[in-house]
Structure 1
Amino acid sequence: MKLNKHFTFDEFSEKLWSLFHGQALITTFNSPLNEACFSFQYLERNNVDFYLFESPEPLSLFSFHLPQSLKPKTLLLLDVNNKGLRFNGILCEEHQFALISEKSQHPFCLQIPVNCPILVCDINTNNKQFQELCNSLVPVNIDIKYAQELKTVVRHASKMLPNKDSNVGAILLMRIVEILSLHPTPMRPQSLTGRSRLPRRSFIPKCVDYMMEMSSTDAIKQLAKEKNISEKTIRNAFKETVGFTPKEFEQISKLFAFRRALKQPEIVTVFEAAIASDVYRWSRYASRYSKIFKELPIKTL
């Protein structure tokens, strides 16, 4: 990996935003926000860009879709130390990957435990079968031999700058892509045990959309009526997939959007930041903001 870099939360959050187009959400900070204790590393190889990041705090990341770029992103995510990465609410086992494609433009959620190194491989491939597999939005199995081999490469690379002429990691990744392209599209675990498959791909982001315009309570009522499913079903599925209840997600996502707005150079007042992040009655949010970030909005500005 390129020089081991450590960043403050705001710097780290911006890097995750550029990679996933999603906001990192943390409910409690145990370390000072200005302390560079978040790790993010980057390495280029033929056909593959590697990213390795780690947070000293448990975090959730929700994204409506990957950012569009000149070179379409196809991301393969691996929990290097098997600490409990959840992809759309489903635990990634030791021999499983999470796959996300920019072409699918589907929303996704990552729940990442504390001190859990996550390897992200941005793979340049036109393999159509592999792209279809990325649309499943559930963890995908791979031969445990290849999973362990990739983890070994990552652990070595994270400790020292690898030989610039070495391309073993990229070669291994392209072999894994070939193998994965032969997999049938997986289903959610509930589907395999007989439960009806909930349309989470559509109703979870729809619920988030509604929360941008109304309260989480009203959003759930509206969605339950539209989809003809119970409010309890929506709440339970939302909590499982995102890691927060709809009410919790509504509050914390607005607080982090508020902080991101405060950090923008064109923003000169707290009121402007509140408007930019759709935070109305921002004085009510100020106490919640200081509780999480240990500072008042005016200090962040």
Structure 2
Amino acid sequence: MVAVTPKNKLSNINRELKKGRKKKKKRAYGALLARTGVALLIVIAGVLIWTRMPLMSIFIRQQLIQQGIGTIKEVVVQGNYHTAKEGIVQQLDLEPGMLLFDVDLVDKQVAVESLPYVKTAQLSRQWPDRLLVSVTERVPVAIVNLEKLYYVDADGQIFKRIDPGEEVDLPVFTGLSVAQLQKNPEQGRALLDLGLKLLACWQENDAYGQEGIAEIHLDNAFGLTVFTRRHIWQLRLGLEEFRLKLNHWQKVLNYLGKEAERVSSFDCSAGYSVVIRYGDASH
């Protein structure tokens, strides 16, 4: 019987550690060779496709598909909130087993950006088998009534019809029509931009925010008229200097106090003066 000394025990441990390191190196080396082979095959395929060598590219393509190398196995979508991932993937219209090489990124970008809520889209390949889609969505700030109701964003882009039964709580632009936009699109666009400008000025003041806007009526001759949500006031503001006129209106409200609840309309369109109306009487 051979006695195991601490020295022999330590030697045995070192030998086992060396064996483990050798096995680990072999596995790592094998994995590296596999990754290198895949990468090399993908590069060769790309070069052949790029240089338009059809016979060789077809052969390499078949090999890639058979081995499942370079084919799209996953689509990752980022930045979507209103738009479902399934809708974006459907819009991409990718064929089963499609190679990443074969994806026309520009064409697919245009397809994704045609979705109502998508403002911008960026597509990129993530080798070996992933397609990344990053989108920026439009944020509705108001509704425009064009016989049917549509969302409009801060850029004035009318981008989606509101579905029946859909719950919304946004100011409504009225006064425009489809016929008007078709006949004189520049004028319609200018009025819509003024409405958005007024809405932005309104949202700068917390006091206005508490009152709320139910409707902004757009009229090229008489200007913009706000119908408030809380007191149902009618507020005429003309076509310019909205911030100044709103400040004058706020001063009048402060002066009137509770008496303002009896007012039905304020006419601030003249600039520095504010004409108020109690029912049918003007003061």
Bucket of the pairwise TM-score, normalised by the shorter protein? under 0.3
Normalised by the length of structure 2, the TM-score is 0.22
Question: Which structure has the higher relative contact order (CA within 8 Å, separation 6+)?
Answer: 1
Normalised by the length of structure 1, the TM-score is 0.21
Q: Which has more strand, going by share of residues?
A: 2
